[in-house]
Amino acid sequence: MNATIDRRRLLRGATLAGGGLALSAWVPAWAQSVSAGIVRPLPTVSGEDITLRIAHQMMTIDGRESHAIGINGTVPAPLIRLREGQNVRLHVENALDEDSSIHWHGLILPFHMDGVPGVSFPGIKPRSTFTYEFPIVQSGTYWYHSHSGLQEQLGHYGPIVIDPMGVDPIRSDREHVIVLSDHSRMHPHVIFKKLKQQGGYFNYQKQTLAGMLAGKDQSAKERREWGAMRMDPTDVSDVTGSTYTYLVNGHGPRDNWTGLFRPGERVRLRIINASAMTTFNFRIPGLKMTVVQADGLPVRPVAIDEMQIAVAETYDVIVQPTDDRAYTIVGESVDRSGMARATLAPREGMAAAVPPLRRRPLADMKDMGMGDMGGMDHGSGASMAGMDHGAAASGGAMAGMDHSAMGQGATAAPTAAACLPEHAAMGHCTPASAAGTPSPAAAGRHAGMDHGSGAIKHSMRDFSVAPEVKKTPTVQTISPMPVDRMGEPGQGLEDVGHKVLVYTDLMAVDRNPDVRAPDRAMRIHLTGNMERYMWAFDGEKLNEVRKPIPFLKDERVRVTLVNDTMMGHPIHLHGHFFELVTGHGEYAPRKHTIQVQPGGTATFDVTTDAVGDWAFHCHMLYHMHAGMMQVVSVRPRGGDAA
């Protein structure tokens, strides 16, 4: 008998006949590529008074121990199960030797209970207890996590499920909570140090000479052009499977966490991306999924085969397996350097084939913010001869905020550029085309273009197309021609051959509570410098910002996020839900987190109805830690406006 076992082949390998895990008895449990399956529900706490204890602990992933910070001795932290309409008191003991905190992600609550140190409360001191108390005014799937330093990366996160006050309109026979996350045995401060020293430190999937000779990836000409701009088309994820193990409910791929079902049942999966840095492409080969909630709020059912779920997003899906067999749950990292893996099965001990990792994506012209360059081959990193790219390199920027007259009681009617079809149809505004004037976006797309000479000159750091962006070292690139990418499936999923969820698929079940046209519009640029690993909004890191972004209570504002980087950014606004501007008008989907694709834009309308100071940031943990965060201040009208 051959004593050599190819673990990678087994991990990705063939279906285990009859669902049995018939690996040789002499292989130790920790070395088995597939365990017998962990059929274990998440520990749950509920009631009016809940006690949570934050402390150091060890956790075992795929048979190996690793240091963690958990809550009540578990990673993920216990599932907190609440009911709409109740009041809850959460007594949080910090047993660490450093400050800690808990932010209740997506919950609508008083700002001083939001749990962001330095913004809404002072934090929880070592060896002390803080009590959060607030009413539960919503239902759905949410989560909670530390907002202190890099503790979240170490395991300080957990799921929240809030049952509706009455009968749940989403019918299911059983449910499973699926918490996706990433874990490294390397300390998060060491990870951050390495990123500061070399932004692409963890990228082991760069293009090679051997690959070029084999005809893979970019051509030699394209590689020279991208190299001249110091841009790396393989720079898709900052931290990769080279150091991360991707988890489902705290378990690694070999642990094989298993959720049970009976054939024919409607099974509700509450999917939470609680990772620090990983965008997941989520699918269950052989099973259709029907999306029924996004970020905790109901949406009209959408049947899909796959979705890209950004950091901090949640989706509820219904699956209905009819066969008496196992199905593999796949959470593939966006750069395809690894996957989270689990199983749905009728019985314990079953497993299904684990698909191989797909070919990793390459950034292209659209990811560089040149999405409107019609006639050019965007799919392969088209030729850039004749373009003036200036001082470009990989990275990102956040620019274009209109701070004028904000918080001073003055409002302006939305510009023609801000008039989208749904508001025009409601008679609220006149589209730019009807007004006979080009929009600022259109003007920006032509800035720097020399049409007379036949050469296209696009400076990749042209501040004239983004006058709101501060000229700082944090701004490495500015997208010359960013386009709305909310109708796209996400990086690497354009040609997978099956239905992938896009934001434009989502429609709210109920009419939105506020359907007013925006009072004003603002642009916010997502900026960064990958080489120095600095990230910011509008070129200003959090430690450089002198005052918060001011709003008045109940303002209606249209916000366009412009991604000046070649990396997706999940942007989260605390204390509010906003409506995605995707053409669905009064039934626009409402979310608290939105993924802005590389080199693209995303637009939402928000009613600033929650008085207080709120965090606003990229939910990539190391991006936020490096400065991609600001504070939003909502003040009462006629009061002490900031």
- The CA-atom distances, in angstroms, between 280 and each of 179, 311, 330 are 12, 8, 9
DSSP assignment letter at 437: S
pLDDT for 459 equals 62
pLDDT for 35 equals 58
Least confident of 54-63, 79-88, 363-372: 363-372
Beta strand extents in 18-85 (DSSP E only): 44-46, 49-61, 64-71, 79-83
Mean pLDDT, rounded, for 516-528: 96
Phi, psi at 34, each rounded to 5° = -135, 125
pLDDT for 84 equals 98
The yes-or-no verdict on residue 309 having pLDDT over 70 is yes
* DSSP string over 529-588: ETTTTEEEETTB-GGG--S-EEEETTEEEEEEEEE-SSS-EEEEETT--EEE-SS-GGG-
pLDDT, one tens digit per residue, over 566-607 is 899 999 999 999 999 999 999 999 999 999 999 999 999 999
The yes-or-no verdict on residue 3 having pLDDT over 70 is no
Beta strand extents in 479-533 (DSSP E only): 483-484, 520-529
pTM: 0.83
Residue % of the chain over a pLDDT of 90: 68
Least confident of 5-9, 96-100, 560-564: 5-9
Give helix then strand counts, H and E, for the chain.
8, 32
pLDDT, one tens digit per residue, over 266-306 is 999 999 999 999 999 999 999 999 999 999 999 999 999 99
pLDDT for 401 equals 38
pLDDT for 38 equals 83
Q: Which residues contact 378 (CB under 8 A, 6 or more apart)?
A: 364, 365, 366, 370, 371
Parallel/antiparallel/unpaired status of strands 483-484 and 600-608: parallel
At residue 445 the predicted structure's pLDDT band, cuts being 50, 70 and 90, is very low
pLDDT for 462 equals 79
At residue 526 the predicted structure's pLDDT band, cuts being 50, 70 and 90, is very high
Q: What share of the chain is helix, strand, coil (3-state, %, to 5)?
A: 15, 35, 55
d(CA 434, CA 419): 11
pLDDT for 419 equals 53
pLDDT, one tens digit per residue, over 166-189 is 999 999 999 999 999 999 999 999
DSSP assignment letter at 233: T
d(CA 561, CA 246): 29
Q: Which residues on adjacent β-strands are paired with residue 562?
A: 525, 601
pLDDT for 198 equals 86
Whether residue 125 contacts residue 95, with contact meaning beta carbons closer than 8 Å, is answered with no
pLDDT for 394 equals 38
3-state secondary structure of 103: strand
The yes-or-no verdict on residue 416 having pLDDT over 60 is no
pLDDT for 390 equals 42
The yes-or-no verdict on residue 384 having pLDDT over 50 is no
At residue 460 the predicted structure's pLDDT band, cuts being 50, 70 and 90, is confident
Residue % of the chain over a pLDDT of 70: 79
Mean pLDDT of the chain: 84
The yes-or-no verdict on residue 406 having pLDDT over 60 is no
Beta strand extents in 157-230 (DSSP E only): 157-163, 174-184
The yes-or-no verdict on residue 325 having pLDDT over 90 is yes
